Structure 1
Amino acid sequence: MDATATAARPPIADADEWRRQLDELRVREKAATRELDAIAAQRRRLPMVEMPDYVLQSEHGPVRLVDLFEGKTQLITYHHMWWPGNEWQCPGCTGFTSQFTRLDFLDSYDARFVIVTQGEIGEALAYRDKVGNRMTWYSTAGSPFGADVDAPPGGGFAVNVFLRDGDTVYRTWHTTGRGTEQLTHTFPLIDLLPYGRQEEWQDSPEGWPQHPTYEGWPGSQDIARAYGPNRPA
C-alpha cells in the first residue's frame, strides 16, 4: 500500500460513539437486505420464455441444451467473454469464474452452474486448464445460443438462468455488468474493508487511496499463477 493509503485513516471515536454509528449504519444494511429479498421474490415471479433445441459442444462432443442440466431442473450459465486465438482471455471473466471451485451444494437445490463460451471447445478447454478453472465448460461456437441469450461473438459476458420441464428448456432470468456481482464473494469482502475497492468512481473520504477502475484486479496471468497447473506447491 502506498504512502497516501497509510496516511488515510478513519476518525477515532470511543466505543460508545463507534457503536452508535454502527447501529445507524445497520438500519440501512437491514433495509438493503429486505430490498434484496423483495427483488428475489419478484424474480421468482417473472414469466419465462421457451428456448429452441440448441446444440453446443462439450468436452465429449455435441450436446443439446437440455443435456447441460445433467438431469437437474435448474441451470445457471456464465457466458465467458472470448477473443479467438488470444493467449489470455478476459481477466474479469477469468477471475470471476476462478472463484467457483465447490459447486456440489447446488445438488440439494436441483441445480447446476456451468460456463459457456464462444471459443472453440478445444481452445476453450485448454485455456480452462491453463488458468486452473474447475467449472464445466461448453462452447456455443457455431450455435446461435450465445447470441440469443445476450452473449454474442465479440460481445460481453452474461449470466442466464434456465428451467427444464422434461426436454423443454425455458429462460427465466438474465443479467450482465454489475448485475453479476451478487454471484461473487470477492467484491462483498472487499467492500467491507475500510478502503473498499479503491476505485475512482467510489464515494470515499478525502485522501482515501483510489486508482482507475480495474487497475487493482488480478490479470489472467495472475490467476494462472495462483490456480493453474504450474502454481507454486
Structure 2
Amino acid sequence: MKKYFLDVGGHKGETLEEVLKPKYLFDEVHCFEPIAECCDYIREKFSPYIESGKLFVQQFGLADFDGEQLLYGDKEGGASLFSDKVDIDTSLTASCTFINASTFIEEHVSDGDLTIMKLNCEGGEALILKSLLDSGSINKLSNIMVDFDIRKIPSRSRDENELVQKMTDIGYKSYTTPKDSMIGLTHQDRINFWLSNLPFAEQFMQVSTDQKLLSLLPFSLRRKIQKTKKRHQKRQLAKNVS
C-alpha cells in the first residue's frame, strides 16, 4: 500500500508547508498547479523534497478534459477556469494545461492505496469531482477536502448540490468541507486539524498523545476546542501587536 497526498490547487505551496513535515508519512505528495510562475516558486522553495523523490510538482491542472484552456485572474488571487467567478480580474488570462482527473488517478493509484486529496481550485473542483464520479475513480480516494468555490460562479450555481447528491447516491461519504474540518489560525493549523482528525490518521501520520486523547471525544467537541484555541491565539497576537 502506498500513501499519497494530492494537493490540487498548489498555489505557492501553503499546504505543502504542512504535509511535508516529518510527522506525515506520505510516500508521495503530488502538487497540481497549472500556473508556471507558481510552479517555479514551489520548485525552488521545496527543492530538497523534489530531489528526494517525495514531492512531484505537476505543472498542469486537473479537470474533466485534456487540453489547453484559459485561466482567468492572476496567480496572487487565485485564477479560475470560469470567467464569471465573482472575485477575479478577467483582463488577466493565461493559457494552461489540464488533464482529466480520472486519467491521473487510474494511472497512479492502485486499489488499496491510501490517497488523500485537497481540492481548492477556484471552481475547477466541480469538473474534477464530475470526472471522478463519472468514472468511479472517486472510490480510490480515502478522503477529499473540497472547497466548493463553484458556488461563486453564477453560471454553475447548481453544480454543488448536484455533485453532493451524486456522492450521496453512490454512497461516497469520505469527503468534507472547510467549514466542517478546516479550523485553525493559520492555513497549516487548518490542514493539520483536518488530517489529524481523520479516523485513519495513524496510518499516515505520527499522532501525538494529546491528539490520541482528543480523538476519543466526539468530533463536535474537538471542533469546539479547536475554535476556542483559535480565538485564544488571535487574542495573543493582538496583544503582541499592541
> Over alpha carbons, which structure has the higher Rg?
1
* Bin of the TM-score, shorter chain as denominator length: under 0.3
Higher relative contact order (CA 8 A, sep 6+): 1
Higher helix proportion, which one? 2
